[in-house]
Structures are given as structure tokens and as C-alpha cells.
Amino acid sequence: MLAIAVVPQGLEVEASNELVALGAQGVRPLRRSVAFEADLSCFYRLHLFARLPFRLLRQVASFQCDGPKSLYRGIQSALDWERWLHPSMSFRVDVSGHSDALTHSHFTALQVKNALVDLQRNIWSDRSHIDLKKPDMCFHLHLNQSGAVLSLDGSGGSLHRRGYRAAMGLAPLKENLAAGLIRITGWDGKVPLVDPLCGSGTLLIEAVGAFMGLAPGVRRSFSFENWYDFDPVLWDKEKQRANTINQSSNRKKLPLIIGCEQKINIAKQAQANIEAAGLQNIIKIKNSNFHDLVLPNQPGFIVCNPPYGKRIGVDQNLQLLYKELGDFIKKNASGWQLWLLNGNQELSSSLGMKAARRYPISNGGIDCRWLQYQIY
């Protein structure tokens, strides 16, 4: 099948590498997405193991579409709907892109919905309910000037929700973004990893999970389990393999992994998340100001996303925080490397250090940089 992984902007190449490693074929990075080919087993496996995508879409039809009428007809003949969409199943339609004739996503989605429920009424004299939150089937229509592509969203809810993070601190990173940032660092599990402003612990949990090869998707369900051609035997096989890997993973040895958080409630949340992820023997959380953090002797990686205000000039306290972080690192982290996610260049210059590399990353629509510093 042809498929698309929807990924955070800036992580397209890393996401492509991840998909290749998990067995996807014909992988091509696009903008905010990656095109690939997979058989059903691989598609299921990607839902269990891939850490970077928001969602995985299976393309089922592409057709010429020059306006509402051809969209309506194209949708009705896109699939054998008698098999795929019984009125007892709820659905939702998502739309991306546009064309000259179809400029409003909401109108386009309504047109897709009308095509489907009209067809259902003709067949069954009944129709599906629309469920925007937890539908049985989720359709994705992508429009461009040359036509339309209809896909089935296999994920249901976004894949960044792993199920370990009931508790969230201030401005938490999405889990898939955190996983992608860690992949860029190249941390290989051989040297210590420290997040001095760890919030709910997302960067550390994702780093350790990826290093151990844990399957983040084993605790949740997916939309593809409702599909007409869902294969429970293949799915059980992939899921069992993922469970076995997750259960045997604790044997891997890791150096010190430390998170530091000054707010007691948030530090407790980080601890709860780490326990929910089953990593309490590996990641240690200290409830203190990072000034009081004692780094391990062996140099390693410091990763963090300190708070960043959006309006330059009003962030006096944040400028002080960045200056103090820079001073702490220069004094205590000789031989380490620092990776810092920043959305405000004014603030990162308060660190008083020069970045060796900068990766543009979109964090929920905010244009950020993932900055690497070598500490001498």
C-alpha cells in the first residue's frame, strides 16, 4: 500500500530514517510528511514502534477533482463502501490542502461527508453518525491543483499520545517531537543524559524508550482495527513481538540519566510519568534548581527546552535564567554537549555561547531552533 506519515516540520529526514529502520519501503521525505510503501504487517508495526509520526495514512484512491461535483463522484467510487462503511460505524473527515475550486476545508469535508451518507442511504436507508472525537473510521482527503487523494487514517488519535503521560508540567513537548529532537542529537546510550529543566520528563523518557527499542504504541488502540480488511492474526503477531521486546528491554545497561525540576509538583509529575513508562530504575528526578545539580563525572549530553517568552524585551527574568544556565554549563560541563530548544533568539544569546549547529523545528507552530553547543 502507499502511505503517508504526518510528522512535525523539521523532522522529515529523521522520520524517514526511522520508517526505513522499521521496514518501510520507497521512503521519501516531503514537507511535514513522509511518503512510503508498506504491507499490512509493516503498517501495523509502524503504529506500534514509530516514535516520530503524528499519524499514519493509508492512501486508498486518487482521482481528478475540479470542483464539488467531481469530488462527490470521486468519493462515491473511491472504495467498496458497502464493505468499508456500514451505517453502524461513526466517521470523521479531515481535509488538508486546497484547489482553486475547493478553497474551504470545512466545505470540502462536508462535501465528502454528504457523498458518503447519501450513498449509505441508497444502500441501507440509514447513515453513519459523525463523531469528531473518537470515530470508528477517520478519512483524510488531501487536495491539490491536480486532484484529490483519499486516505484512511490508521491511527485514530494522534500517535504522540503514548499513554504514559497522564501528568503534564508547564508547556510540555509533544512526545513525538521530543523523540525526534533526541534522534537528531545522536545520543547512543553510552554517555550520561541530563535535562536540567525537565518539566514532565518527556525528553528523557523518549530518549530511553528509543534507546531500548520499546514500542510506544502497545498500550493503545488504533483506527485500523475497525477496517474491513483488518487482519487480527497479523496484528496479534506484531503486538506480541512488541510486548516481548518491551518486557525484555530492562536488560540493557545505561549510564546515569537525570532530570532536574525546581517545582515540586512538576517534579512529582515527571516521577509519575517515568513510573507509568516503567523507567523508574533508569531515570532519576531531582527536585531542585539546576544551580544545585551535580553532573556525573563522565561527560555526556545535556538536553533541555527552557521556557521562552514570545515578546522580545519583556522577558527580563528569562534572560537571567538563560544567563545563569549558560554560566552553570560553562563552569560545570566541560567536555559535554548541550542541546537546547529555543523559540526566541534574544534569549538564547543570553547563554553567552555560540551554537555549533542549528536545526529549524516547528514546536506546535512556533518557529524554533534545536541548538547544539560543544562545551570546552
Q: Applying CB under 6 A, which of residues 96, 305, 337, 348 lies at the interface with ligand SAM? A: 305
Residue 164 contacts ligand SAM per CB under 6 A: no
Q: Please give the grid coordinates belonging to residue 163.
A: 499513554
- In sequence order, the 6+-apart residues with CB closer than 8 A to the CB of 206 are 51, 175, 178, 179, 182
Cα 166 to Cα 171: distance, rounded to the nearest angstrom: 14
Angle of CA points 41, 42, 47, to nearest 5°? 100
Q: Applying CB under 6 A, which of residues 4, 42, 119, 260 lies at the interface with ligand SAM? A: 260
Residue 263 contacts ligand SAM per CB under 6 A: yes
Whole-number Cα distances in Å, 147 to 98, 102, 144? 10, 11, 6
95/267 with CB nearer ligand SAM? 267
Per DSSP, the residues of 6-37 read E--TT-HHHHHHHHHHTT-EEEEE-SSEEEEE
Cα 155 to Cα 51: distance, rounded to the nearest angstrom: 13
169/278 with CB nearer ligand SAM? 169
In the complex, least distance from residue 325 CB atom to ligand SAM, rounded to whole angstroms:
8
In the complex, least distance from residue 172 CB atom to ligand SAM, rounded to whole angstroms:
3
Task: Yes or no: say if 302 and 339 are a contact pair by the CB < 8 Å rule.
Answer: yes
Residue 8 contacts ligand SAM per CB under 6 A: no
Name the residue whose CB lies closest to ligand SAM. 199
Stretch that binds ligand SAM, among 56-64, 114-122, 259-267, 351-359 (CB under 6 A): 259-267
Residue 266 contacts ligand SAM per CB under 6 A: yes
In the complex, least distance from residue 157 CB atom to ligand SAM, rounded to whole angstroms:
19
Residue 290 contacts ligand SAM per CB under 6 A: yes
User: Which of 138, 145, 152, 150 lies closest to 62 in space, CA to CA?
Assistant: 150
Burial of 269 (0-12, 13-18, 19+ CB in 10 A): buried
Size of the site for ligand SAM (CB under 6 A): 21
Residue 34 contacts ligand SAM per CB under 6 A: no
300/306 with CB nearer ligand SAM? 306
Q: Applying CB under 6 A, which of residues 87, 97, 296, 307 lies at the interface with ligand SAM? A: 307
Near ligand SAM in 312-371, by CB under 6 A:
321
Q: Please give the grid coordinates belonging to residue 141.
A: 482527503
Residue 171 contacts ligand SAM per CB under 6 A: yes
In the complex, least distance from residue 130 CB atom to ligand SAM, rounded to whole angstroms:
33
Near ligand SAM in 180-239, by CB under 6 A:
197, 199-200, 202-203
Distance of alpha carbon 43 from the chain centroid: 16
62/289 with CB nearer ligand SAM? 289
In the complex, least distance from residue 269 CB atom to ligand SAM, rounded to whole angstroms:
8
In the complex, least distance from residue 66 CB atom to ligand SAM, rounded to whole angstroms:
45
Stretch that binds ligand SAM, among 38-46, 100-108, 164-172, 243-251 (CB under 6 A): 164-172
- In sequence order, the 6+-apart residues with CB closer than 8 A to the CB of 195 are 201, 203, 204, 258, 259, 260, 302, 303, 304
Quickly count helices (H) and strands (E) in the chain.
Answer: 11, 14
What DSSP designation does 172 have?
A: P
User: Which of 242, 205, 223 lies closest to 159 in space, CA to CA?
Assistant: 223
How many Cβ atoms from other residues are within 10 Å of residue 307's Cβ? 16
170/312 with CB nearer ligand SAM? 170
102/340 with CB nearer ligand SAM? 340
Residues lying near ligand SAM in the complex (CB under 6 A) are found at 169-173, 197, 199-200, 202-203, 260-263, 266, 289-290, 305-307, 321
